[in-house]
Chain A
Amino acid sequence: MNNTHTLKKKKRRRFKDLMPLYIMLLPGIIYLFINNYMPMTGIIIAFKQVNFAKGILNSPFIGLKNFEFLFRTKDAWIITRNTLLYNLAFIILNMIVGIFIAVLIVEIKHLFAKKIYQSAILVPFLMSTVILSYIVFALFSSENGMINNSILKLLGKDPISWYNEPKYWPAILILTNLWKSVGYGCLIYIASIIGIDKSLYEAAQLDGAGRWKRIRYITLPSLLPTIIILTLLSVGRIFYSDFGLFYQVPMNSGTLLKTTNVIDTYVYRSLMQLGNIGMASAAGVYQSVVGFIVVLLSNWFVRKVDDEKALF
């Protein structure tokens, strides 16, 4: 009798003790439920023929029809190809340029200059894609753009109508992205170079290894785990792209779609501009599901390389 009484008391005290913690968790749990979990159930929209008069819940199921329509279009192939190729280009170029700059910055002796370089490289990272689109527009607009007005004129070449020529956009978008995000990776590389054991360098120097040899045989191999991890993490996001970069920077120009349309922009256009909810949600589900599989795979690889760095 007495025993159960104290047990109850203990339980009650434990409850009183833990309750505030659950109360703290509540706002976040509710927010994630609304913002993230409720939309997950909305995936059924992709399997329905949405009829707003009947409401989404009462609209008839049509199985995989929406997906059939989507994959019968040329768009499905174009947006998949563009998304993958752009991301691959970003990953490779950002890595090479990032490492190159990081190695140079680390080797700089002059401390003040080093600091300036290091700070400058991150500035574009702060800018919104809207600002990016202004900068690209200032360079490439056909009437006022600096490239047409100053550079091409100086070279005696005819102006180019950049916003109507799809073939230039892969280069423009890849360089714009590089400009914006190279500093991010670069800082991580700098941090991991600084973390390399100094005695390795001293030993190599005693053995008569020059700077190039030290970079080649110590710095780069030591960076390899970081490189692999960063690459795998970005591969995990390979089915997603920066919406602003592909929508805003090319100014949503229809003539450029062949080389600027990616899954994210396709979903947005189908939903908002064409009002084609079927296609939009089919493409969205395609992106989420394949994206999920890619994340799982890349995480599995990360785990193989370095257990600690894996997401889960």
Chain B
Amino acid sequence: MLNSKGNKLFQTFAHIMLGIMVLLVLLPFVLVFMSSITDETSLITNGYSFFPKKTSIDAYLYILQQGGKIVRAYGITIFVTILGTSINLIMSTLMAYPLSLKKLPYRRIITFYVFFTMLFNGGLVPTYLMYTNVLHIKNTLFALIVPNLLLSAYNVLLIRTFLSVNIPSALYEAARMDGAGQFRILISIVLPLAKPILVTIGLFTGLAYWNDWTNGLYYLSGNEGQSLYGIQNLLNQMITNIQYLASGKVGGIGSEVAKMPAVSIRMAIAFVAMIPLLVLYPFLQKYFAKGITVGAVK
């Protein structure tokens, strides 16, 4: 009797605590959305608020009408995400499959070659100088796709472990008997069976590409570079400009400010950048959760 009363009390306590948590997690998104539909003058006089005095969808209309730059950046982000994630998945699988075969000579050495990149790195300076001075990827689309994101040793090792645990070698032998070559085996046996891990890793890689702005920051500059900005870099540029101007470091502010999108429009673009993730999340949630626990448990 006493126990059930205590139980009820505990459940209430837990719901209240977690309710607060959910609010803390979600309110910032609400704030961004509400600011994006706040009338510009009301935003300037009253600041960002959950309860705008006056709402308006001008910001979104503006994006629709004049948003050439925004649409372009959005397109670049989508393109880079799809292409980068696809190459990443193909290359990771191509590496993971041979490394999962015990009979492969030099397997240990190659695995160490992959693994060592997780332990030690050359740092930003040599990486930057190599990509700009040797490979000349500055201000090209390669800059958004190639550095750091195209292959992760960690993912290769995850897929390799998955394959060696989940695919019995008898299956390979049977396929060999039927005369299948290695590429045939990879496509018709490995790929279908590896689907769960590939979906998970694809999601995380896609997320990394969608959210990446550091490659753009390092390797895109000037007008030429800015024409390649993805949505994150565009947002980044807008908010740093604002802060730069607000800090009063530059003279002749007037014209610069005039060129800048209004506050509500910036928030609208930020919200537009979040939409795909927020819309897809309910469907992908399961895989994200699985990926995190797989990654931690190894």
Contacts and interface: CB of A to CB of B under 8 A. Distances in A.
Interface of A: 17-18, 20-22, 24-25, 27-29, 31-32, 34-43, 45-46, 56, 101, 104-105, 107-110, 113, 116-131, 133-135, 137-139, 141, 143-146, 148-150, 163, 179, 183-184, 187-188, 191, 210-211, 229-230, 243-244, 248, 251-253, 264, 267-268, 271-272, 277, 280-281, 284-285, 287-288, 291-292, 295-296, 308-309, 311-312
B125 A271 contact: yes
B79 interface: no
Contacts of A267: 123-125
Interface in B16-40: 17-18, 21-22, 24-26, 28-29, 31-32, 35
Nearest to A32: B117
Contact of A144 (B18, B151, B235, B263): B263
Contacts of B119: 292, 295-296
Interface size classification for chain B: 35 or more
Contacts of A37: 117
Q: Which secondary structure characterizes the binding site on chain B?
A: helix
A123 B281 contact: yes
A281 to B, nearest CB: 4
Contacts of B214: 243-244
B94 A24 contact: yes
Nearest to A137: B239
A287 B122 CA distance: 10
A185 B14 CA distance: 19
B22 A43 contact: no
A25 B110 contact: yes
Contacts of B150: 31, 35
A282 to B, nearest CB: 9
A124 to B, nearest CB: 6
A249 to B, nearest CB: 10
A130 B296 contact: no
Interface stretch (B58-66, B192-200, B267-275): B267-275
A149 B285 CA distance: 36
B91 interface: yes
Given A21-B182, A143-B246, A288-B121, A119 B285 contact: yes
Contacts of B127: 35, 39, 42
Interface of B: 3, 6-7, 10-11, 14-15, 17-18, 21-22, 24-26, 28-29, 31-32, 35, 43-44, 46-50, 91-92, 94-95, 97-99, 101, 104-105, 110, 113-115, 117-130, 133-135, 146-148, 150-151, 153, 156, 181-183, 186, 207, 210-214, 218, 232, 235-236, 239-240, 243, 246-247, 263, 266-267, 270, 273-274, 277-278, 281-282, 285, 288-289, 292-293, 296-298
A84 to B, nearest CB: 18
B11 A149 contact: no
Nearest to B120: A292
A210 B281 contact: no
A243 B285 CA distance: 26
Contacts of A109: 11
A25 B14 contact: no
Contact of A251 (B151, B243, B296): B243
B182 to A, nearest CB: 4
Given A34-B130, A104-B18, A285-B123, 14 more contacts: A20-B181, A20-B183, A36-B122, A42-B127, A101-B21, A108-B15, A110-B15, A118-B289, A121-B25, A138-B267, A146-B48, A146-B50, A253-B243, A288-B121
